[in-house]
Amino acid sequence: MRGYRKISLGISAMLASLSARADYSWNFPEPVTPMALDTLHVHNKFMLIAMAIFVVVLAIMIYSIFAHRKSKNFKPVTDKAPSTTVEIFWTLIPFAILLLIDFVIMGIPAYHSVIMMENTRDKANMVIKITGSQWRWQYEYMDGDAQGIKFVSNLSTPKEQTDKGFSGTKDENYLLEVDNHLVLPVGAKVRILMTSADVMHNWWVPQFGSSRLAVPGFIRETWVQVEKAGTYRGQCKELCGKGHGYMPVVVDALPVEEYKVWVAAKKEELAKASAGADKEWTKDELIANGKTVYEKNCAVCHQVSGAGLPPAFPALTGSKIANAPIFGADGKYLKDSHLDRVLNGVRVMPSWKALLNDTEIASVITYERNALGNSVGDVLQPAQVKAARQ
């Protein structure tokens, strides 16, 4: 008896886990915005229509396959040309049905969805700007209390887990975790301005039902209105180079009160960081800070050791640029100097001007010049970077 109960418990647990999975695996994940909900409805409806058409046509075909066989001695009939009235009738009726399905049953809801999707401005409560770059997202709050908050969001799955041949246990949110989550208030309509710093990216959270291409040099728009608190994950979905699979999107939707607390805390954190730019740093402090910045932002191409991945991504160890002077006799930074490269980029090397703050740029350059097998010996202060930006 007890054994029987155990087995039935086991089976129901298994079924429960199957049905829990079923929510995720067989259709879109649970929608949390009006747009995603609409998309799910449209998808279900269209799929149902498509399947109905498919099943009916398939049934007719299968019947014919079994009934009208040579092996059953079925004699072929000759199709007679129908009379004009019959022909017109049999042409117009299917056309009418198809037109009804295409442009009324499917077409009208689709029309409303498009209008809803493209209506980014009406009653928008706040605006954020998302900038894609290889291979991270940058978020900037454009208005309201949070105006001025700006940060970069990098993949935070430990590097050894994503390395070739890793055989240990992977994190639960493998490839779907970042260091800085985008935080949005629940219920607010958020207008999103989308752009890119280098190649095309596409910001996509399946549970939001919105996805828009980030085009360098242009602003594209979309919107989200998250109606349920929670953490939502997505990925870049436009091929953007070798790191394409490694730039996830993570969004925390917080109730308005908690969101306000987060805004205040984030502002304070950013103020502290920019205050750091005005003080004089020691070489060791810069190197220690630079190591973190380097491994988070630069190591994906130039490698942790600085060896790079030539020819696409040059080595920093012994690199001409990392060992040449930064400033000329007039005190301005030289063209093609280390600082110029980091600030402005060249070809595949992105511009870091907007992605890193003064302290981070100063630290990472000091680190690259005094570690990774280089020993130039000089120190770049955040104040100098600040001056160089002007």
Partner 1 sequence: MSTTTVAHHEEHAEHPTGIMRWLTTTNHKDIGTMYLTFALIMFFVGGAMILGIRAELFKPGLQLMNPEFFNQLIGVHALIMIFAALMPAATGFANWMIPLQIGAPDMALPRLNNWGFWLLPPSAILLTLPFTLALFGIGDGALATGWTFYPPLSIQGGIGVDFAIFAVHLLGISSVLGSINIIVTVFNMRAPGMTLMKMPMFVWGWLITAFLLIATIPVLAGAVTMLLTDRHFGTHFFDAAGGGDPIMFQHLFWFFGHPEVYILLLPVWGFIPQILETFSRKPMYGYKAQVYSFWGVGVLSVVVWAHHFFTSGMPVPALLYFMYSTMAISLPLAVMFFCWIKTMWKGSMSFETPMLFTVGWIILFGIGGLTGLVLADVAADAQYHNSYFIVAHFHYTLFAGGIMGIMAGTYYWLPKMTGHMYNEKLGKLHFWLTAISFNLTFIPQFFLGLAGMPRRIPDYALQFAEFNMISTIAAFTLGLSQLLFVYNIVTCARGGKKATAQVWEGAQGLEWTLPSPPPYHSFTEQPTVK
Q: What residues numbered 332-371 form the site for partner 1, per CB under 8 A?
A: 347-348
| Among 34, 37, 113, 140, contact with partner 1 (rule: CB under 8 A) | 113
# chain residues binding partner 1, by CB under 8 A: 100
Polymer length in residues for the chain: 390
| Main-chain dihedrals φ then ψ at residue 211, nearest 5 degrees | -150, 135
Nearer to partner 1 among residue 39 and residue 359 (C-beta): 39
Residues 210-239, interacting with partner 1 (CB under 8 A): 210-213, 215-218, 220-221, 233-239
- Closer Cβ to partner 1, 176 or 263, answer by number: 176
R_g of the chain computed on alpha carbons: 29
CB distance 249 to 233 below 8 Å = yes
173 binds partner 1 (CB under 8 A): yes
- In the complex with partner 1, which residue's Cβ is closer, 97 or 264? 97
| Stretch binding partner 1 (CB under 8 A), from 7-15, 115-123, 352-360, 374-382 | 115-123
In degrees and rounded to multiples of 5, residue 127 shows phi and psi of: -125, 130
- Residues contacting 138, CB < 8 A, separation 6+: 130, 131, 132, 150, 151, 152, 153, 197, 354, 355
User: Which contacts (CB < 8 Å, 24+ apart) does range 34-39 have?
Assistant: 34/116, 34/225, 34/227, 35/116, 35/117, 35/208, 35/209, 35/210, 35/223, 35/224, 35/225, 36/206, 36/207, 36/208, 36/209, 36/210, 37/209, 38/113, 38/116, 38/209, 39/113, 39/209
Shortest gap between Cβ of 205 and partner 1 (angstroms)? 8
Coil, helix or strand at residue 240: coil
| Upstream peptide bond of 262 is cis (omega within 30 degrees of 0) | no
288/354 with CB nearer partner 1: 354
Residue among 105, 110, 142, 371 that touches partner 1 (CB under 8 A):
110
Among 60, 86, 93, 324, binds partner 1 (CB under 8 A): 60
Under the binding rule (CB under 8 A), the answer on residue 377 touching partner 1 is no
CB of 139 to partner 1, least distance (A): 19
Residue of 8, 17, 161, 305 interacting with partner 1 (CB under 8 A): 161
Q: Who's near 158: CB < 8 A, 6+ residues apart?
A: 171
- The answer to whether residue 24 forms part of the interface with partner 1 (CB under 8 A) is yes
Report if residue 100 touches partner 1, rule: CB under 8 A.
Answer: no
Q: Output the smallest distance, CB 369 to partner 1, in A.
A: 27
Select from 22-30, 183-191, 285-293, 315-323 the region that touches partner 1 (CB under 8 A): 22-30
